[in-house]
Amino acid sequence: MTSEEPAGYLGEAEQTLQKAKIKIGDRIQIQTAQNTFEGIVIPRAEIGADDKHIIIKLDTGYNIGIHIDNIQQLTRLKKGRKVKPDLPSVTRKTKKGLPLISILSTGGTIASRVDYHTGAVNPALTADDLYTVVPELGELANIQAEVLFSVFSEDLLPSHWTTIAKQTAKHLEESAGVIIAHGTDTMGYTAAALSFALQNLPGPVILTGSQRSSDRPSSDAALNLTGAAIAASQGPFAEVVIAMHRSPDDTSIALHRGTQVRKCHTSRRDAFLTINTDLFGEVKNGQVQILAEDSTYHHRNPKRKLQLLPKFDPKVALVKTTPGMTGDRIDSLIDRGYHGIVVEGTGLGHAPKALLKAIERATSETIPVVMTSQCIWGRVQMRVYRTGVELVQRGVIPAEDMIAETAYVKLMWVLAQTRDLKEVQKQMLHNIAGEITECSKRSQYEEMRDQ
Amino acid sequence: MTKVDYEKVGALIGIEVHQQLDTKTKLFCNCPTQIREDEPHFTFLRRLRPTQSELGEIDPAALFEFHKGRVHVYENYDDSICLVEQDEEPPHLLDKEAVDFALEISLLMDSQPVDEIQVMRKLVIDGSNTTGFQRSVVVAFGGAINVNGFTVPIQTIGVEEDAARKIREDGTNTYWRLDRLGIPLIEVATAPAMKTPEQVQATALRIGQIFRVTGKVKRGLGTIRQDINVSIKGGAIIEIKGVQKLNLIGQVVQYEVQRQVELLKLREELKNRGVRAGQINNEIHDVTPLFKTSTSKVIKGALKHKEGVFALILPGFAGLVGWELQPGRRFGSELADYAQFWGGVKGLFHTDELPNYGITAEEIKRLHKHLKTTQSDAIIIVAAPKQEARDALNAVADRTREALKRVPAETRGPLGDGTTRYSRPRPGAARMYPETDVAPVTVTQQRLDRIRQALPELPEEKLQKFKKEFHLSDELAQIMIRSLRIDLFEQITKSHPQLAVTVAASLETTWRNLEREGVAVDDIPEDQIILIFDHLAENLFAKEAIPDLFTWLAKNPQAAVEEAVQNLGLGAISKGELKAIVDTIVKENSKMISERGDRAMGPLMGMVMKEVRGRADGKLVNELLRSAIKVQLDSK
């Protein structure tokens, strides 16, 4: 999540302030029947706010809300100082002998500063800001920082993935590695997108963010960011990974492969889990340790020529099947001109019989239908039960052990290159960036289960 | 040290009283408000990073701790602590019960509730809060309480979350238990309007009484904590945090006023001597070679570990490092506190106290010669690793320069005898910002009306009630309204008003006597105590059995009251049996009765009571005995 511009006042409260020519940040005096309060006008909180209260910050630091009906007199004592917003820019600081890495921000406030004057949380955006907030970064690498955009991660579009991919490719011409600061909600999707868009990487591309906002002393942001910086500058690999806390402890940062990772908890620091394979690596005590087999990943090689395939077809839908579901939802996607459908089916890759007709219609109209499982863990296997067989007969593509979100992103990426149903099928079942494994290993699920 | 004239030195004192609420849940989650002593189920570890304000301010003490690599290990229970305390889940809504309680206290103190309560984050990065801040709200402003005819203005009334409990420190690891984190605390802050230790002590007592009449606060040591701020004319505002014992408050205030007075006198003396701040520099001298053959245990130990001996010169300070500020605490003790806090060293030596501790006059002489100092200078010596000694002596130099200018604003911690020690610099303007994860709470008129209708009686109203309705003596009633067990008393007397005098005497006089004898009366579960009086009301035993019951149950807190009754051979005896015992004793002592007449009553009463050991009511014994004696005398 990103911090918004300080929310202003609405309705009656706004009128009351306007009438007295009072702006946010001004020092004012409010007289009520029993008390006189002096303090600074604070932006109205975004949650549960009505239009009947004015919030001031008292000299003790506490905020209180005063109902406008109780205000007998409202006086401005002093105009507030203007808080200069940070201007997004590319900044760079150099220290000899350190590798250069890039930090691209998309809106996740990986680093931020509190304005104790108004209580607003402002993102730290420039390299200078980052050095100030997380001084250890300066010891690890020279940093080139760029703000790509400032969007809540749930509002990111496939077109944003394209921009991120292009800018990452550009930065990789100079930088040893690229870090992408990202909101955690859809970080998994972006990681998958970059895994397909950036092939033949010369160095690591690392997405990171925070589960506890960075304005608080207990935030996971700084450790995630330094972990990402260590991996970007020293990691021996050239893959897209997510770097986030491995446990609630501030000790280890897990590195998850971009195509096999999912946010599995709403709030914990270790919300991200690797699905259907073993963890790729970790950063601990300042060192990168790769846990994956040597032969299973691309090693860092600055000379390698990156291949950029940044386009995504946004006309793809991800549909979860449920008991009682009928075919009309698939039909409506066809009617609306969607180019592809990923189904998150039940169990081994099943859908209610009621969907068969609509699915048949989709494939006959050359709209690929890809089957994944809402079980999250495991592989689809559509020859075991009759339902599966019937779906395959109608042209459904079983996506092996690809997780649904990755299959969704991959289908968008494949469709941007070809609409030929045969070719789509071939590409979907061809492992490009570790999204499909050949053997289902027991260890990863068992570790998960035994937690 | 001379006696302090508080009026003359312009002492102004305020207090903040914090007490844990006995709510069903914590302030921001649904976990129980339960302190646990069993083995924790699991731990996790964190580092807290000092965050910086827009103005570039950073709390120096916090930054210092961070650079030292301080690691916080948090101890948890699977069944009574959730992700909120672990800072792994956003807080839930502000607990209604706690807010209601704070509003109740506000109304009792004539304080005006705010229209909308805003939840704030107050930065606290010593690790006592997993988030790095304490969530805190102000619920009401203003008001006053009357303390023995003196009006003490109230500044604010609020609620905040209690911190985690520090269990131990081990190198750079600090262990905290999360059971206490999040328990609601009521906070009442008075204006700095009190002028004597007596006023402060009485005010703290009064606030505690008002808390207790509501019956919604926790009891026992550690549930109530007072912060005291003390300033004098020309001094500084010193905050003494976490005084737990009520009867220590007056002493703490007295000693703090004394300390500031003495520091100002010390400054005067330095001025007279012509010592200037510019003369004190932070040059640290490595004097290890001078102490190679020292017999001092501390120095020998340090050298064995390849550490060094380092010295700092305080020009013109001879005799002043030993200046007494509080009983047993000298200016040198203050310097040692700074050295300990900033350098992590165990202590320091100063020439005012030497030769001593195995350091010889010869060594001091050599030291003076080596540093080219005179007898009018003081020297501070630290034996420690180089970096730590450097940090320590730098802090000492800074503190000494400060002594020439002012009384430094500090946060101090109380020691057992009412003296205090430096605990950290006083944070600048409170660093607070909004807790955006929790919605503000509007205080409606309906809510206030509902609370107003159910307000408890104030202590003086209770006093009258206890005397009039319960027939408690003035003395016992006074004791009861101050009692920690007042709500227990009220609970029991609700069902058994006829036992009020016995209940009060048992919960106070008997209780205290047993405590003095070393009986852990506090260990008896509350419902057991209630049960004792239920049984007493049914005449299962006599009230004289209560001390024995308390004693037995304190030793067997898991046992049932019935077991205690059985084990002690209690169980009331019948009137017939009792009469037989009385008659026997009267018969055996007929000689004494004829000699002393009515005055034989006392000794005979004792004999009977000894025989029946709590199985008979004293009043009945008295009655039977009196008539038996009368019969005996009449028959003569």
The helix/strand/coil state of B118 is coil
Mutate which of B49, B78, B426, B431 to disrupt the A interface (most A C-beta within 10 Å)?
Answer: B49
Residue A2: inside a domain, yes or no?
A: no
B-chain CB neighbours of A53 within 8 Å are 115-116, 440, 442
Closest alpha carbon within chain B to A250: B46
**Minimum mean pLDDT range among A28-32, A123-127, A357-361, B242-246:** A123-127
CATH of the domain at A27: 2.30.30.520
pLDDT of residue B54: 44
pTM over 0.95: no
Residues A140 and A251 in one domain: yes
pLDDT of residue B586: 87
Residues A301 and A188 in one domain: yes
The helix/strand/coil state of A251 is coil
Residues A302 and A321 in one domain: no
CATH of the domain at A245: 3.40.50.1170
pLDDT of residue B363: 93
Cβ–Cβ gap B46/A48 under 8 Å: no
Residues A277 and A346 in one domain: no
Q: Are A90 and A144 in contact (CB under 8 A)?
A: yes
Specify which residues B228 forms β-bridges with. B15, B240
Give A180-231 pLDDT, tens digit per residue. Answer: 999 999 999 999 999 999 999 999 999 999 999 887 889 999 999 999 999 9
Whole-angstrom distance, CA of residue B350 vs CA of residue B84: 49
Residue B208, amino acid: G
Residue A5: inside a domain, yes or no?
A: no
**Minimum mean pLDDT range among A314-318, A357-361, B144-148:** B144-148
Give B396-445 pLDDT, tens digit per residue. Answer: 999 999 999 999 999 999 998 999 999 887 765 557 788 888 988 999 99
Residue B589, amino acid: N
Whole-angstrom distance, CA of residue B66 vs CA of residue B47: 8
Residues A17 and A120 in one domain: no
Residues A320 and A301 in one domain: no
Residues A245 and A174 in one domain: yes
Task: Please give the domain boundaries of chain B with CATH numbers for all domains.
Answer: 6-237 (no CATH), 278-405 (3.30.1360.30), 457-567 (no CATH), 575-635 (1.10.10)
Average pLDDT over residues B219-238: 91
Average pLDDT over residues A390-400: 96
Mean per-residue pLDDT of chain A: 89
State which of A308, A338, A363 marks the end of a domain: A308
Residues A139 and A194 in one domain: yes
State which of A289, A308, A327 marks the end of a domain: A308
In chain A, what is the greatest distance between 2 CA atoms, to the nearest angstrom? 79
Cβ–Cβ gap B118/A62 under 8 Å: yes
State which of A308, A329, A354 marks the end of a domain: A308
Shortest Cα distance, chain B CAs vs residue A68, angstroms: 9
- Judged against a pLDDT cut of 90, whether residue A283 lies above it is answered with yes
pLDDT of residue B61: 65
pLDDT of residue B506: 93
Average pLDDT over residues B97-125: 93
Whole-angstrom distance, CA of residue B413 vs CA of residue B340: 14
Overall number of domains in chain A = 3
What count of other Cβ atoms lies within 10 Å of the Cβ of residue A303?
A: 5
**Minimum mean pLDDT range among A46-55, B50-59, B110-119:** B50-59
pLDDT of residue A5: 36
Residue A298: inside a domain, yes or no?
A: yes
| The pairing of beta strand A240-245 with beta strand A205-208 | parallel
pLDDT of residue B62: 67
Give B44-67 pLDDT, tens digit per residue. Answer: 999 988 776 544 456 666 667 777
SS3 content of chain B, % helix, strand, coil (to 5): 45, 20, 35
Cβ–Cβ gap A65/B440 under 8 Å: yes
Active site residue A185: yes
Q: Write down how long chain A is.
A: 451
B-chain CB neighbours of A47 within 8 Å are 436-439
Shortest Cα distance, chain A CAs vs residue B210, angstroms: 23
Of A136 and B153, the one with more pLDDT: B153
Query: CA end-to-end span of chain A, whole Å?
Result: 28
Q: What is the ipTM of this complex?
A: 0.89
A-chain CB neighbours of B429 within 8 Å are 59, 61, 116
Give B439-466 pLDDT, tens digit per residue. Answer: 889 999 999 999 999 898 888 888 899 9
Residues A352 and A222 in one domain: no
- Judged against a pLDDT cut of 90, whether residue A46 lies above it is answered with no
pLDDT of residue A270: 96
Percent of chain B with pLDDT over 90: 64
Give B363-394 pLDDT, tens digit per residue. Answer: 999 999 999 999 899 999 999 999 999 999 99
Joined together, the tokens standing for residue B59 give 């709390």
Residues A370 and A232 in one domain: no
Confidence of residue A418 (pLDDT cuts 50, 70, 90): very high
pLDDT of residue B522: 83
CATH of the domain at A342: 3.40.50.40
Q: What one-character-per-residue DSSP string does B448-498 give?
A: HHHHHHTPPPPHHHHHHHHHHTT---HHHHHHHHH-TTHHHHHHHHHH-GG
Q: Using omega within 30 degrees of 0 as the cis cutoff, is the peptide bond preceding B197 cis?
A: no
Which residue range forms the structural domain that includes residue A125? 91-308
Residues A417 and A370 in one domain: yes
